[in-house]
Amino acid sequence: MRHHALAASLACAATLLLVQPATAQEMARDRLIAHLTAQAREQAAERRAVVQAITTPEQARLRQVRVRAMLAELIGPERAAGPVRAEVTGRSDGDGFGVESLWYESVPGYRVTANLYRPGRGNGPFPAIIMQPGHGVDGKLGNHAFAANLARAGFIVLSIDIVGEGERIQHYDPEIGASKVGRPTGEHSVAFGQALPTGGHVSRWFIQDAMRGVDYLMSLPEVDDRRIGAFGCSGGGTITAYLAALDPRIAATATACYVNDYDHLLAPGGPGPQDAEQSIPFFLERGLDLPDWIEAAAPRPYAVVSTTGDMFPIAGARAAHAEAARFYAIMGAADRITMIEGPGGHGNLQPIAPHIIGFFNRWLRDDPAQPAFVTIPTGDPAHLLATPAGQLTTAPDGGDTLRQVIAREAPVPAVASADSASLRQAIRDVARVHVLPGDPAPAMQEGAPVDTDGLRTLPLSFAAAPDLAVNALYARASGRGRRPTLLVLQARPQAIMARWHAAGWNVLALEPRGAGGTEEAKSPLTGDWTLLSLRALLVGQTPVGMRTDDAVAALNWLAGRPEVGRIEVLGTGALAPVALHVGVLDDRVDGVTAVNGILRYRDFVERPLSRDMAEVNLPGVLARYDLPDLITALGKRVVLVNPVSSVGEPLRAEQVAAILPAAPRVIFQSPRDPILPSAR
């Protein structure tokens, strides 16, 4: 009954909203961000109340069990185990330390490149540290000085390349000597989009890399396997936090320039959601926040390392530390958590390096010393490479890419029947659709009619949520009686509105939720929804689901209009899959026209690259259905116009036939040709 209550509240809330002209400050994207931020704040407050109610060690331990269970459910960790297949490919010596270059397998056929730093003195067994780099093209090379200093202090250090960095660039192009995707955050965004439709979260492979690194360390006779620590900064700090929470073998953890809370990250003026592996779908909705990563590791020693000028707000880092410190105190381990603060911006760790090394000295070597940090140049990086040319993807036997690993695990949906209730339920579950056909119609607020090039449109607005307005334009056909009606899902609908209205149709064009504006581009391939979709997923919503809700709400309004006859839906580009979802969910839709839309979510998994995945992707969709299932369910009600591949290239007739053997009507035409009612 949740959806009926929601629809009723939306109808009432519409009276609070007025139709307003779109301005730079009032774009749909800005309104959506404000709405999602408010939702995140509410979810974080609910979680905070739960944590603050914990007062006993037993309650704290029960919270840890619940948190780890939720993390396992959301991430879907890999389970590869047993002896680690590895190969040392080179050795070199430095001042007070030695280095081995190597690779090891994280899952069968999938390799991690690394450097193993050994102390230059002593016989061991030595405590060990697994170290992970931040978001930098150079990967582990950027950690050379820190790893060498730790080795000089008496630690064995396994410094690894995170996927998409160093020697593990997944889309390396030898012709340009770099990733064709862009920087590592772009590589991670692409991997996130490839993994999302398979279920779980892309971080499961990042975590698996680290856990198998711990396995490798434990296989070395000179390592004291009871004293293994973890250290990383920024993106490496993220995976270090994940590792410590999920792997009890980590005896001490220092996480730098990552720990924060979502109240500060998502607040107006904050940096917003971070990169793909740092943002887990449904994390806030399930009652989790970033301090949970620390609290799940309690009572093992933990250092929160932050810099005062970081893009991660220092106030958020302090708040997360304060909450975690209370949690540690409840568990009788107040002395095992500390905060190390330093000056400067993101990743400026050298001024506080002695404190970081001192933390590991104290907890892994029973030594209170804080040795001075020595500048150790990398020199020629070739002596630290594990592959002949510096990249696994160009090595003769470099193993699988992450995309290939993801594809092997991608499920094949089992759809009960072409138009079954189970398919509709799958859509509601996967896309997070809440508004149903027949729910109370939203109360429309009307603006003053506008005449443009002979077309009179009525600006409308309704409440998608009490704090979120969706704008629309309505052009009513002339004459009496019921007229065919088109619901348009398109970013710039004016031309199509004019053509269909001239043919005697009522036309309602919805402003796409989240339209307008721009964001930091992680990659030229990832588009303008990468971070916005992460923000939505954190609180339990999807772009497709939100836009489907808006369309069904609009249909609920249209269905009660005396001038409305049969109803069709047209969606273009990223809104074409929305139109397909709406058509399957709502029997009142007599026809669906999908223009320039993709035909398969599976292409995101099987193709090496795709474009703009974030705006149309759905978490775990391949376990329940794919777009061909929706097209089959629609049958004769659907027309596909110029379908495209996942990189946006037009598909040929034979390619469509290979995807849809029993294809509905498919129209191929020039991009300049208008889509007219006669197309049906």
Q: 419 pLDDT band (50/70/90 cuts)?
A: low
pLDDT in tens, 95-128: 999 999 999 999 999 999 999 999 999 888 999 9
| Same-domain status, 365 and 421 | no
Q: 16 pLDDT band (50/70/90 cuts)?
A: very low
3-state secondary structure 200-247: CCCHHHHHHHHHHHHHHHHHCCCEEEEEEEEEEECHHHHHHHHHHHHC
For the ranges 4-13, 214-223, 240-249, 283-292, the lowest mean pLDDT is seen at 4-13
Find, among 202, 191, 270, 166, the residue nearest to 526 by Cα. Answer: 191
Angle at 255 between CA 55 and CA 128, to 5 degrees: 110
Say whether pLDDT at 264 is over 60.
Answer: yes
95 within some domain: yes
Q: 532 pLDDT band (50/70/90 cuts)?
A: very high
| Same-domain status, 515 and 553 | yes
Say whether pLDDT at 661 is over 90.
Answer: no
Dihedrals phi, psi of 94, to nearest 5 degrees? -125, -170
| Same-domain status, 344 and 434 | no
Query: Distance between CA atoms of 193 and 120, rounded to whole angstroms?
Result: 44
- At 401 the pLDDT is 97
| Same-domain status, 400 and 419 | no
Say whether pLDDT at 3 is over 80.
Answer: no
Average pLDDT of the residues in 212-237: 98
| Same-domain status, 338 and 427 | no
Prior bond of 301 cis (ω within 30°): no
- At 678 the pLDDT is 61
Domain final residue, candidates 405, 421, 455 = 405
How many structural domains compose the chain? Answer: 2
Q: 418 pLDDT band (50/70/90 cuts)?
A: low
| Same-domain status, 383 and 422 | no
- At 416 the pLDDT is 53
| Same-domain status, 393 and 427 | no
631 within some domain: yes
Domain final residue, candidates 390, 405, 420 = 405
Q: 417 pLDDT band (50/70/90 cuts)?
A: low
Q: What is the mean pLDDT of the chain?
A: 93
- Give the whole-number percent of the chain exceeding pLDDT 70: 95
526 within some domain: no
7 within some domain: yes
Q: Which residues pair with 229 in a beta bridge?
A: 129, 252
Structural domain including 128 reads: 60-405
- At 453 the pLDDT is 81
332 within some domain: yes
pLDDT in tens, 368-391: 999 999 999 999 999 999 999 999
385 within some domain: yes
Average pLDDT of the residues in 444-457: 91
pLDDT in tens, 557-569: 999 999 999 999 9
Say whether pLDDT at 423 is over 50.
Answer: yes
Q: 303 pLDDT band (50/70/90 cuts)?
A: very high
pLDDT in tens, 329-356: 999 999 999 999 999 999 999 999 999 9
* Domain at 599, CATH number: 3.40.50.1820
Q: 79 pLDDT band (50/70/90 cuts)?
A: confident
- At 518 the pLDDT is 87
| Same-domain status, 283 and 350 | yes
| Same-domain status, 379 and 437 | no
Query: Distance between CA atoms of 388 and 382, rounded to whole angstroms?
Result: 9
676 within some domain: no
Domain final residue, candidates 405, 421, 444 = 405
Query: Which residue blocks in 275-313 are alpha helix, DSSP H?
Result: 291-295
3-state secondary structure 73-101: HHHCCCCCCCCCCEEEEEEEEECCEEEEE
| Same-domain status, 330 and 436 | no
The three-class DSSP label of residue 303 is: strand
177 within some domain: yes
| Same-domain status, 479 and 382 | no
Say whether pLDDT at 207 is over 80.
Answer: yes
Handedness of CA 373, 374, 380, 382 (dihedral sign): negative
Distance set, CA 413 to CA 199, 615, 622, 623, 629 (Å)? 12, 21, 5, 5, 9
Please, are residues 342 and 304 in contact by the beta-carbon 8 Å criterion?
A: no
